A and B are shown apart, each in its own frame.
Chain A
Amino acid sequence: MQGGKDTQIQKQTELVNTGNPRKNRSYLRAYYYTTISFELFGINSDIEVKVDTGSPYTVVGAQNRKLDAVLKEHLRTVGIDGRTAVEDASGNPIGLKPQVVQNFKLTDDIVFPKVKIYFSDSLKEKAILGMDILTLFDFKYHRDDKAIWIYYEENFLETLGKKMINKNLGYIDPGLIAAMDEFPSK
């Protein structure tokens, strides 16, 4: 733990690897799955996502078998956001549908009351946890316990809210968290 007079105590929480050797090859080091929970249109979902540090977005395939039929129907009526067009590793276009989900649980300790993630018909049943969510925090892969640990402060929501470019949205949009200090200077 770290901390000081003017800093919050930093805690750590495990991004629990829910990959299961009985259903996939998650005993291999290169596979890391975790399970996120959220509520959308009043319906709760627990979705297993592949941790993908190459993806700029967190995306749930709109045909994921753990999504309720009513929720899938709602998602069908939501338009594709052309501004956030992406491509997969083979160059195929992927349409994304942004949605603000509620009670997004990344770990038992990190819960967003409201946060923007994406859904996609193109991803079908797959789901990935991208850098938009992961890089809101410090995180580290520990080889000994084969686990990713996330470091956070108790008031992380307040801190993230202050960094939002538009502070009046009422939800966390990871794409609007300012990162101007990372831009190269001329």
Chain B
Amino acid sequence: MEIGGKLEVIKSYGLQIAEIEPTVYKVLNTEQEINADKLKHDLMDAALLRSQRIRWNRENGVNTAIAKIYYIIFEPSKIDKYSRIAREGHADSTIDVCDFHEEVDSIDTLYRREEL
């Protein structure tokens, strides 16, 4: 998706943003509570710096997080810098990125040595 399309998506959520530098957008109306998971997936490869979840939204059996958004970042290398900046203004700021899980099945369980 081109940047113009991404900005349209952001606006459709009622978020007002200001470009801080290319690929980094600061949200101006940070009191707005929106569905962070939906926004994240609609933007596809964005990172959100957002509040910790305010509540869950359940729709068709899927739970998604409602939160306040502070920054939207499209360049992964800039996440750390702005995570630090976001924390200065918002103590509850967290990093939220799309976490696609591997397609392959894996057995994640762990064993204590004494079990074996």
Contacts and interface: CB of A to CB of B under 8 A. Distances in A.
A10 interface: no
Interface residues of A, number: 42
B99 A94 contact: no
Interface stretch (B1-9, B10-18, B25-33, B58-66): B58-66
Majority secondary structure of chain A interface residues (helix, strand, loop or mixed): loop
A133 B84 CA distance: 30
Contacts of A57: 110
A20 B107 contact: no
B111 A87 contact: yes
Majority secondary structure of chain B interface residues (helix, strand, loop or mixed): mixed
A65 B98 CA distance: 9
Interface in B69-116: 79-80, 83-84, 87, 91-101, 107-113, 115-116
Nearest to A87: B111
Nearest to B113: A85
Interface of B: 37, 41, 52-53, 55-56, 61-65, 79-80, 83-84, 87, 91-101, 107-113, 115-116
